[in-house]
Homo-oligomer: A and B are copies of this chain.
Amino acid sequence: VANISDVARLAGVSPMTVSRVINHSGHVKEETRLRVLRAMKELNYVPNDLARSLVRRRTDTLALIVPDITNPFFTTVARGTEDTARKNDFRVVLCNSDEDPAKELEYIRMCVSIRVDGVIIAAAGDGSRKNLELLDSFEIPYVLVDRKVDGVQADVVTGDSRMGAFQLVKHLIDLGHRDIAMITGFLTTSTARERRDGYRRALEEHGIPFREAWVKETSYMRNMDFTLVEQLLDCTPRPTAIFAANNFLAVQVIRGLRHRGLRVPEDMAVVCFDDVDPYSLVEPFLTVASQPAYNFGTIATQLLIERIEHGEGPAPSPRSIVLQPEVIIRKSSGH
C-alpha cells in the first residue's frame, strides 16, 4: 500500500507538497499539482486518515449513542444525524446503549479512545451524568438529544413531552374516560418523568385524582414486561384507557390486551408517544403524539458541529431546542 512518500518520490516532490495537494491548501503550482495527482492515481493512493487524525488532533468523526437503533424513532434520528454530518464532512459512528448506563460508559470510553470530535447522545438515564463527565474531562463536546440528564449542562434537543402527554390524556378525558392508567419508561429518564407530569396535570386539571398505583414504570425497550399490563387489568376499578409513554410500550400493551382477549379500542383505549412506524404504515391505527425525529437528529448535529467548529473566544452557552409533538388521533383511542 502506497504512502505519501511513495507518491512524493514518484512525482519528484517532497511529501509536504503532496500533503498540500491532498488538502487543497493551495500554494502549489498547477503543473506540480497535476504531476502529484498523476502519481496518486498511478499508485492507487488513499491517504491514511489515522496518521492524519493523529497529527491534526481531529478525526472528523462524530458518535451517536442511542438506546436501540431498531426503534424507528432512533433510526430516524440517526438518519437525520448522518445526513447532516455528511453534509459537513463528518463521519458518524453509531452505538446502542440498550438503555444501560454501563454499556453506555463503554461506548463513551471508546469515543474518547478513538478521539471523536463530538458526541450526540440519547442518554440512558440520569446515571449517564458520570459518563458524560468523562467527555467533559477530555473536552469533547456533546449534545443531548431526546432526553435531558439531571445535573448536566449542555446543548439539548428535546420534544415537549409534558405538552404531548397532556394533550394525549386530555383527548382521552374529552372522550369520557376518567380511569386512565399509564405505562412509562424508568423515571430516571427525563421523558418518562415529563410524560408522567403531563399525564398528571391533565388529570388534575379535570378534577381526576392522580393515583400512583396506576403509573407503571418499566424499560422503554422492546422486551418490556408483559405482566405490567395484567396488573393494570386487575385493578379495581379497571382502567378504561392506557397511555403508553413510547411506541414499543404501546405495542406491548396491545399485545397484553390481546392476550387477555380485550379489544382496542372497544374494551380499552390506547394512546402513546412516538410514531410506531413512521415509514411503513399501511393502516395507521394508534393515536399518538408524533415527534419530528429526523429534525431531532439534524438540529442536534448542527448544534454539535457549530460547537466543534467554534474557534477561540467564549463558547456559546448551552442551548435548549424544544420541538413540539403533533397529536394524531386515530382508531386506537376510539374517538
Are B69 and A96 neighbours in the complex by a CB distance under 8 Å?
Answer: no
Are B48 and A113 neighbours in the complex by a CB distance under 8 Å?
Answer: yes
Are A70 and B59 neighbours in the complex by a CB distance under 8 Å?
Answer: no
Closest-by-CB residue of B relative to A283 is B285
Are A44 and B137 neighbours in the complex by a CB distance under 8 Å?
Answer: yes
- Chain B residues lying within 8 Å of A69, measured Cβ to Cβ, are 69, 75, 78-79, 82
Q: Min CB distance, A38 to chain B, in Å? A: 18
Contact with B along A243-261 (1 / 0, CB 8 A): 0000110110011000000
A323 to B72, CA, bound (A): 25
Is A100 among interface residues, defined by CB-CB distance under 8 A? no
A47 to B69, CA, bound (A): 28
A278 to B112, CA, bound (A): 34
Are B91 and A47 neighbours in the complex by a CB distance under 8 Å?
Answer: no
- Chain B residues lying within 8 Å of A286, measured Cβ to Cβ, are 282
Are A248 and B279 neighbours in the complex by a CB distance under 8 Å?
Answer: yes
- With A54-B54, A254-B282 in contact, do A114 and B49 touch (Cβ < 8 Å)? yes
Is A291 among interface residues, defined by CB-CB distance under 8 A? no
Is A11 among interface residues, defined by CB-CB distance under 8 A? no
- Chain B residues lying within 8 Å of A137, measured Cβ to Cβ, are 44
Closest-by-CB residue of B relative to A137 is B44
Partner of A96 from the list B59, B79, B282, B283 (CB cut-off 8 Å) is: B79
Closest-by-CB residue of B relative to A92 is B94
Q: Can you list 10 residue pairs at the A/B interface with Cβ under 8 Å?
A: A1-B138, A48-B113, A54-B54, A70-B75, A70-B279, A94-B94, A251-B279, A251-B282, A254-B282, A283-B285
Known: A50-B50, A50-B54, A283-B285. 5 other contacts (CB 8 A): A49-B115, A50-B59, A70-B72, A72-B72, A277-B277
Q: Min CB distance, A30 to chain B, in Å? A: 24
Contact with B along A167-206 (1 / 0, CB 8 A): 0000000000000000000000000000000000000000
Closest-by-CB residue of B relative to A112 is B46
A281 to B283, CA, bound (A): 11
A288 to B71, CA, bound (A): 21
Q: CB within 8 Å of B: which of A1-38? A: 1
A79 to B78, CA, bound (A): 13
A71 to B72, CA, bound (A): 9
Closest-by-CB residue of B relative to A50 is B54
Partner of A247 from the list B59, B76, B109, B280 (CB cut-off 8 Å) is: B280
Is A222 among interface residues, defined by CB-CB distance under 8 A? yes
A281 to B113, CA, bound (A): 39
Contact with B along A49-60 (1 / 0, CB 8 A): 111011000010
Residue from the set A69, A79, A92 with the largest chain B CB neighbour count within 10 Å: A69
Are A51 and B48 neighbours in the complex by a CB distance under 8 Å?
Answer: no
Is A276 among interface residues, defined by CB-CB distance under 8 A? yes
